[in-house]
Chain A
Amino acid sequence: MTQATLQETDNIPVHPQESGERKWQDFFSFNTDHKVIGIQYLVTSFIFYCIGGVMADLVRTELRTPDVDFVTPEVYNSLFTLHATIMIFLWIVPAGAGFANYLIPLMIGARDMAFPRLNAVAFWMIPPAGVLLIASLVVGDAPDAGWTSYPPLSLVTGEVGEAIWIMSILLLGTSSILGAINFIVTLLKMRIPGMGIHQLPLFCWAMFATSALVLLSTPVLAAGLILLSFDLLAGTTFFNPTGGGDPVVYQHMFWFYSHPAVYIMILPFFGAISEVIPVHSRKPIFGYKAIAYSSLAISFLGLIVWAHHMFTSGIPGWLRMFFMITTMIIAVPTGIKIFSWLATMWGGKIRLNSTMLFAIGFVGTFVIGGISGVMLAAVPFDIHVHDTYFVVAHLHYVLFGGSVLGIFAAIYHWFPKMTGRMMNEFWGRVHFALTIVGLNMTFLPMHKLGMMGMNRRIAQYDPQFTSLNEICTYGSYILAVSTLPFIINAIWSWLYGPKAANNPWNALTLEWMTTSPPAIENFDQLPVLVTGPYDYGIEHRKQDANPELREVPL
Chain B
Amino acid sequence: MQSQIIDPAKTELNHHHTATVVDPHHGGHPDHRLFGLVVFLIAEGMIFMGLFGAYLAFRSTLPVWPPEGTPELELLLPGVNTVNLIASSFVMHNADTAIKKNNLGGMRTWLAITATMGAIFLVGQVYEYTHLEFGLTTNLFASAFYVLTGFHGLHVTIGVLAILMVLWRSRLPGHYSSEKHFGIEAAELYWHFVDVIWIILFGLLYLL
Q: Which of B8, B32, B44 contacts A189 (CB 8 A)?
A: B32
Q: Is B126 an interface residue (CB 8 A)?
A: no
Give the chain A neighbours of B3 by CB distance below 8 A: 503, 506
| Nearest-Cβ distance from residue B158 to partner chain A, whole angstroms | 15
| Nearest-Cβ distance from residue A310 to partner chain B, whole angstroms | 13
Known contacts A185-B36, A194-B17; is A224 also within 8 Å of B50 by CB? yes
Give the chain A neighbours of B39 by CB distance below 8 A: 180-181, 184-185, 215
Q: Which of B5, B12, B137 contacts A9 (CB 8 A)?
A: B5
Q: Is B73 an interface residue (CB 8 A)?
A: no
Minimal Cβ-Cβ distance residue in A for B30: A189
| Nearest-Cβ distance from residue B145 to partner chain A, whole angstroms | 11
A235 to B57, CA, bound (A): 20
Interchain CB contact under 8 A, A243 and B140: yes
Give the chain B neighbours of A252 by CB distance below 8 A: 53, 57
Interchain CB contact under 8 A, B61 and A530: no
| 8 A Cβ contacts from B106-135 to A | none
Known contacts A177-B43, A185-B39, A219-B46; is A226 also within 8 Å of B2 by CB? no
Give the chain B neighbours of A222 by CB distance below 8 A: 47, 50
Contact indicator per residue, chain B 1-39, by CB within 8 Å of chain A (1) or not (0) = 111011110011110110011111010011011011001
| Nearest-Cβ distance from residue A465 to partner chain B, whole angstroms | 38
Q: Which of B7, B12, B40, B51 contacts A181 (CB 8 A)?
A: B40
Q: Which of B5, B43, B140 contacts A244 (CB 8 A)?
A: B140
Give the chain A neighbours of B23 by CB distance below 8 A: 526
| Nearest-Cβ distance from residue A116 to partner chain B, whole angstroms | 10
| Nearest-Cβ distance from residue A426 to partner chain B, whole angstroms | 25
Interchain CB contact under 8 A, B24 and A525: yes
| 8 A Cβ contacts from A255-273 to B | 256
Interchain CB contact under 8 A, A528 and B21: yes
Give the chain B neighbours of A218 by CB distance below 8 A: 43, 46
A525 to B8, CA, bound (A): 12
Give the chain B neighbours of A8 by CB distance below 8 A: 5
Give the chain B neighbours of A472 by CB distance below 8 A: none
Q: Is B165 an interface residue (CB 8 A)?
A: no
Interchain CB contact under 8 A, B35 and A226: no
Minimal Cβ-Cβ distance residue in A for B151: A226
| 8 A Cβ contacts from B43-97 to A | 43-51, 53-54, 57-58, 61-62, 67
| 8 A Cβ contacts from A202-219 to B | 215-219
Q: Is B144 an interface residue (CB 8 A)?
A: yes
Give the chain B neighbours of A551 by CB distance below 8 A: 12
Give the chain B neighbours of A217 by CB distance below 8 A: 46
A184 to B42, CA, bound (A): 12
Q: Which of A193, A227, A243 contacts B17 (CB 8 A)?
A: A193
Q: List 30 A-B contacts (CB under 8 A).
A: A5-B2, A6-B8, A114-B32, A115-B36, A181-B43, A185-B32, A193-B17, A215-B43, A216-B42, A219-B46, A219-B47, A219-B50, A220-B46, A222-B47, A223-B51, A226-B47, A227-B54, A230-B143, A237-B137, A238-B144, A246-B58, A249-B54, A249-B61, A252-B53, A253-B54, A512-B2, A524-B24, A526-B22, A529-B17, A554-B13
